[in-house]
Every structure is written in C-alpha cells, then in structure tokens.
Amino acid sequence: MAHATATSGPQLSSVVDSVCGSGTFAAVQSSGQEAYVDFQSGDAAGAIDADRKAMKISYACLLKPVKCSPGDSNCSPFDEIVAVYLRDRILSSQMNLWNELSNTNDSGDAMTVVTEAMRNAGDLCKYQHLLAETTPFTGARSDLTLAMKYASKFASDSLLRPSVEYQLDDLRQCARRLGVDVPL
C-alpha cells in the first residue's frame, strides 16, 4: 500500500489549512487512514470509498487558486508545500485504488486510475524543491519511487502499457531525477 500517512508536523497542517480551509489537512489524513485500515481489514469497498474521498478533498483544494503548478519556478514556498502535499495524497490514493480495484472485476476503472496516477506522478516530479529533505517532499519521493516501480511493471505488460505510454517520457525523467533505476 502506498505511503498511508504523510509526515506531518504542525507547520504542514497549518499551511494546508490556511490555503484550503480549516480542517482540510485533518480530513485528508483521516480519509487516508480510513482507507488504510479498511484495506488491511479486507474491506475493499470501504477502502475504495475512503481513497476516493481523500482524492476529492485534495482535488477540491488544488482547484482553489493555489499559485503553484508543476515545473513553476516562481512558486512561493507555502504554495509549493501545499501543492506537493495534495498531489502526493492524490497519488497515494490513486495507487491504493489501483491495488484495490485490481482485485475486483472492474478492470476499466482500474486502468483509468493507473493512467491518472502515472500522469499525476509525472506532474508531481516536476516541483522545484522535490529533492528537499523536508516535509512533504520526503513522503512524496517515497510515493514517487513506488509509482516508478508500478510504471515499470505497467510498461512491460502489453495489456497495461497503454495506461502509461503517454507519460513514459515524464516518468523516465522522474526516475532519473529520483535516482530510481527501473526499466521504462
């Protein structure tokens, strides 16, 4: 299962809440924890619902005027922290969803999740301070490393390759940036 909880000091929670609204950080963390517990207890439906909730909350905040896009070198430190944290939570939930959905009969939904996760991984890897040894960057790198391993698996499987094909250049650049040695 992907990085279930982000490293979270009080500074990260207050920064996320200041940008996204009071309680956003706790809601995202709570949904991620709920998904993890449900997954561990074998409740796939509950885990899927909780991961989708975490993604919905994170996407809602990213749609607010967070002034930091992937690859933007003019991001304020706070905006970049919030954007990386939210994109990492989304990536973690997407990878969890893929795991959960791959055990069901809904292969179409699983493929959609894989495609979105790989696109999100490529975007997440473009943030300027991704290699910083601070929160939330360390957690994001952990999830990105796992995503690169998934991408390698998908790229080598003729059935799954279409889900990563359009993101392969970004994923290769990301793997190089992270120092992850995976065939893509």
Task: State pLDDT tens for residues 2-33.
Answer: 543 444 444 888 888 988 899 999 999 999 89
Q: By percentage, how much of the chain surpasses pLDDT 90?
A: 38
- The first and second tokens of residue 27, run together, are 């809601």
| pLDDT score at 6 | 43
| pLDDT score at 105 | 64
The span from the CA of 123 to the CA of 62, in Å, is 13
Domains and CATH numbers, the chain: 10-178 (1.25.40)
- Whether the ω angle into residue 70 lies within 30 degrees of 0, i.e. cis, is no
CB 34 within 8 A of CB 59: no
Beta-carbon count within 10 A of 28 CB: 28
- The first and second tokens of residue 60, run together, are 């809602």
CB 148 within 8 A of CB 122: no
pLDDT tens-digit map of 26-70: 999 999 899 989 988 989 889 889 999 999 999 888 877 666 777
Tell which wins on pLDDT, 40 or 102.
40
The residue-averaged pLDDT of 94-102 equals 84
Tell which wins on pLDDT, 179 or 111.
179
pTM: 0.84
The span from the CA of 107 to the CA of 78, in Å, is 38
| pLDDT score at 106 | 63
| pLDDT score at 4 | 38
Residue 168's identity, in one-letter code, is: L
| pLDDT score at 9 | 45
